[in-house]
């Protein structure tokens, strides 16, 4: 089973809960491809806290996922320009 988003949390004080959100961009697949790839964009969801000591709480979240290196998108363009200049 593959998961793209994983959350966990802990109470850091009597009044504060700290929630971690981990987003996996590429899931493990076989030798030739990934099981999934998250493209850049905006993702929304909700985290529900279930604890017998508290009323149930649902926390909405929005995550903007961007390319880790936006300049990598310019490499194919640079190769096309270089190829055109050499011919």
Are 21 and 5 in contact, with CB atoms under 8 Å apart?
yes
Distance of CA 22 to the CA centre of its chain: 7
Query: Is 50 exceeded by the pLDDT of residue 82?
Result: yes
pTM greater than the 0.95 cutoff:
no
Which carries the bigger pLDDT value, residue 60 or residue 5? 60
pLDDT interval class at 66 (50, 70, 90): confident
The rounded distance, in Å, linking the Cα atoms of 68 and 27 is 16
Q: If you average pLDDT over every residue of the chain, what do you get?
A: 76
Strands, E, within 12-86: which ranges?
A: 17-23, 26-27, 36-37, 41-49, 57-65
pLDDT interval class at 29 (50, 70, 90): low
């Amino acid at each position: 089973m593959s998961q793209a988003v994983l959350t966990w949390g802990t109470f850091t004080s009597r009044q504060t809960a700290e929630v971690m959100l981990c987003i996996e961009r590429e899931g493990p697949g076989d030798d030739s491809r990934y099981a999934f790839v998250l493209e850049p964009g905006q993702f929304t969801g909700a985290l529900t806290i279930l604890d017998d000591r508290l009323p149930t709480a649902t926390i909405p979240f929005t995550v903007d996922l961007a390319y880790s290196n936006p300049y990598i998108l310019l490499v194919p363009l640079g190769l096309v320009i270089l190829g055109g200049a050499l011919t």
